[in-house]
Each structure stands twice: as C-alpha cells, then as structure tokens.
Amino acid sequence: MNCRISSLDGVTYEAVVIGAGAVGCAAARELAGRGFKTLLVDRGDIGAGTSSRSSRMLYSGVGYLAPPFPLWQLPFRPVTMLRRFLYSRNIMHCRAELFRDMPDRLTKHRFHYPFRKGDRYPHWLVEFGFRMMETLCSRKVPLAFRRLSPAAAAKESDMVASLGGPVSSVGVFEEYMYAWPERICVDTALDAERRGATIRTYAKVSSIQQRGDGWEITLEDQAPGASGQARITTKSIVNAAGPWVDRVPGGGKAEKKRVLGRKGVNVMVRLPDTWRGQGLEAFSSKGETFYVFPWGDYHFVGPTELVVEEDPDNVGVLDTEVDYILGEANLLFPELALTRGNVLHAWCGVRPMSTTDGETVSLPVRAIQDPRKPGLITITGSYIMMHRHAGRLAARLVEKRLGRRKAPPKGMLRADGESDIREIVLKEHVVRLVDLIRRRLAVGLDPSLGRDQAEELSHVAAAAAGWSEARRQEELRHFEEDTSRVYQRVSG
C-alpha cells in the first residue's frame, strides 16, 4: 500500500521517472535494473492514462514502411526509406521481445488484409513488405503471411466471406494482441520495485526547478483524504508523461511543443459468433488505417485519426466519431448494418506524436535532452509495443550522465492477477477501488467492465485497506464515474 507523500520529503534520488504508463514503468525498471536509486511517480494509478486506452495490438513493422510521399519519388529518397526500414525492423524486434518475455500476456489471432482495386499502394509492394519483415526481422516470431484468392479466403473465414465490394485477393497473417495491457504496466512497475525502485502513485508533480547541477521536484499527494507534500532532489529526470509531457510544470517544455496528440476512438460491438477471434486491417474511405479487432466475444472497431491540441484529460468520444466508425464498418461489411444501438461502449486515447526534427510523426520513439537543462530527459512518440525500447533509451542517457552502477540481479516478476485479492490491495499500490478492478484484476475488461463484481470487491478492498463504510461507498461512486468517463455509453 502506498505510504504518504510526506515520507519522501528531503530524500535524494539518482533518477526520478514521471508517468507510470508503459514507458515510464519500463524506464523505472531499466534504471533500477542498472543500479540507480530510482523513484517512479504518477498523479494517478499505474497504467491509468494512454496505456489503458490503446488499440491493444502488436503491430508488425509493415505499416511503417509505407512512404509518406508518391511512389515515384522512392529512388530519390533512399535515406528516408532506410530510416523507415530500420524503424520497422526495431518494431519487429520489440514484437519478438514481448512474445519471448510475456507470452502469457498476449493472445494470437488470425488477421485479414483485403486487397482491392485502386488501393493506395500496389499489392505486390504490400506483400513484399510483409515477406521482407518476416524474413529479415521477425526473430522466429512469424507473421505467417499468405495471400489467397477471395474464394479460398472466404472458405477459411466467414468474416472475409462477408466483405462487400470487389476484393482481388486477401492477405492472411498471424498477429498478437495484449490480453491485458493495464496489467503489463503493473507487472513492469512491480518488477522495477523488486529491483529497488520506489513507487508513489497519486503523487502529482507541481513544480520542477533546477538546483545547481541537479533538480528539485515538488510532489503533492492526490490520494483521497490526503494533503501532504514533499520536496525531493535528483540528478536526472525522465519525463514519460506521454501526451502530457509538455504539461508537466517545469518539465522542460521548449518554445515549440515536443508532442502533439493524435486522438483515436474505438467502438465495441458484438459481431457474428463465427467471426470470434478473427481480425481485419484495411483502409477507410479517407485512406486512413481502419481495423476490426477481436476482444473475447466482441470486436472493437476504429480508429479515428484526429490531431488534438487540448488537454488529453478533456478529450472524449463524439457522436460524429462513432457514426463515422460505424459507417466505415458498414462499407466493409454491408450486411452488418450497424447502428448506435449495436454499440456496447466506446473509448478514446490520445497518442503522443513527436514534433522534433521539423515534422510531426508517430515514429520514431525518441529520448531527447535539452542541452540547457542537463539531466532532464523527455520520451516522445512512444506506445506500449516499444515500451522496453523507450525505457532503454532513457536509461542510457541517465547512465551517460551519471556513469554506470553495479546492477542488482535481474528477472521479470509476473503477477497472474489471480492472487489473493487482499494481498493485491496491500502489495500492489492499490489506492482506489478502480485501481483494483480495472488494472489489477481481469474483471475490469469483461463486458460489464467490472460493474457486476464492484460491490463484492469493494467489501474485500475495504477490509484489507481499512476503509470506513463512507469511504467504501465513495469508492463505488468514484468507480462508476470513472468507468462512465473512460468507457462511454452511446445514445441510440
């Protein structure tokens, strides 16, 4: 259980990581694993921000090979294409690393890619991309790509058989999804703690100030009923606040924003039972990426692609976005005739896009450091799939500044989410009921989003944490409010 923030007052750390999403947890794990005295803080719970609102998919690097210019320019832009290949290769290596280290957190599915006349890219080029990634970069975690005739693919898949419009052929491949993305963050944070890191959730950074060759950070307690404060000092800071990196007070915001947010909306629907476990990737009528991803007995469909500059805290799902997604799904599968009445719920996340090097891109992941602010490192452009890679980038910069340390023994600590609930409450930094249901227990991902078991679990959590009956009731109210805010109902 979290101690009060005031207990940290006056403590000095070698590295402080701000943001306990996937990247921040990985950075803390990597730093602690290299022997640095490390503190991981977040204004909320572990994995409660962008990491909990992802597409839940491990993407192959194929999509990132696509050139952002007309194909006739390919011979004249070899450096750009080399960079894209190297980035795509890195993605495939990260994919293989996650499969190797956390296979129990991944689920394998069959995916389809319909080739149509008039597609943005030649079909042979897309197939070449799949086969090149698999041959050169897969590290024995195959994509198992096949290209079939529409008739042959339809025999294998009712989903393909329901595709509308002329389809010239269908790519079939294997890909992985996160069975539980929030738990990946929790597992990684707990492993950082096992390696020596200190974790404080519900600890808001209210200011960062340079002090000589180091930094002073002021933290404010955000836990219910708490009002403490602490000032800590450190030689290095890793700002891993995702789309909020430019909003951390004193967090190194330059004259120009380092990230812009790209809002992605997803809509959960129930599709035919024979489609269960199957997915599809295609392009929308706008020429943007569009997918139908499996999730238990359901599928979620999306995303939207909209650049937003407002605070990600204030970004929600709009009816027009739901209508757009349903319309695109109906273009792909005319017989579905989906309406808002078919929507279980919808959610959105804001993905941080790097704005460095004079362009705004979703890639690559960067660890940047302003020469005027030594020791203040900002991670931009990352997401769950590359969280280990991003953590290593940050740790190398800290190591370059502070020198090497004697590393403690390594090893990944995995929690199966099925341990005694009392032990989870006491040992896994559970502060609020929503932390337990959504990010420590798998029930938070079921169709009811944990509502069916909230009452029962609130009694267990109250007994373990010593909550009063008034606090238990408040936690139930907060859980429902937070669930309704993140997973929005759609009006019919």
Looking at the domain assignment, is residue 210 inside a domain? no
**Could you give the C-alpha distances from 265 to 75, 136, 172, 268, 323, in angstroms and in order?**
36, 33, 25, 10, 11
Residue 284: CB atoms within 10 Å: 20
271-277: long-range contacts at Cβ-Cβ below 8 A with a sequence spacing of 24 or more? 271/298, 271/299, 271/336, 272/158, 272/162, 273/297, 274/158, 274/159, 275/157, 275/158, 275/159, 275/299, 277/109, 277/110
Which tokens go with 230? Answer: 């602490």
Q: Is residue 20 part of a domain?
A: no
Cα 107 to Cα 96, 146, 328, 344: the distances in Å are 14, 20, 26, 22
Domain presence at residue 401: no
CA distance 445 to 362: 27
Q: From the centroid of its chain, how far is CA 390?
A: 12
What residues contact 163, with CB distance under 8 A and at least 6 apart?
Answer: 114, 150, 332, 333
pTM of the shown model: 0.92
In a domain, 477, yes or no: yes
Report yes or no: 232 and 15 within 8 Å, Cβ to Cβ. Answer: no
Residues 6 or more apart from 329 whose CB is under 8 A from it?
269, 292, 301, 336, 338
Closest to 380 (Cα-Cα) out of 402, 397, 362:
362
Assigned token pair, 223 = 């836990």
In a domain, residue 48? The reply is no
Sign of the alpha-carbon dihedral angle for 352, 299, 441, 180: negative
429, part of any domain: yes
Domain contains 472: yes
Tokens (6 digits) for 367? 């660890």
Q: Helix, strand, or coil here: 14? A: coil
The letter for the amino acid at 335 is: E
Estimate the crossing angle of helix 78-101 against helix 123-137, to 10 degrees. 50
CB 413 within 8 A of CB 186: no
**Structural domain of 473:** 421-486
Per-residue pLDDT of the chain (492 residues; tens, 9 = 90+): 557 888 999 999 999 999 999 999 999 999 999 999 999 999 999 999 888 888 888 877 787 787 778 888 888 888 888 888 888 888 899 999 999 999 999 999 999 999 988 887 889 988 999 999 998 888 889 999 999 999 999 999 999 999 998 899 999 999 999 988 899 999 999 999 999 999 999 999 999 999 988 999 999 999 998 888 999 999 999 999 989 998 898 876 666 778 888 899 999 999 999 999 999 999 888 878 899 999 999 999 999 988 888 888 889 999 999 999 999 999 999 999 999 999 999 999 888 877 755 443 445 688 888 888 899 999 987 778 889 999 999 999 999 999 998 877 655 444 444 468 999 999 999 999 999 999 999 899 899 999 999 999 999 999 999 999 999 999 999 999 999 999 999 876
Residue 460 included in any domain: yes
Q: Specify the number of domains making up the chain.
A: 1
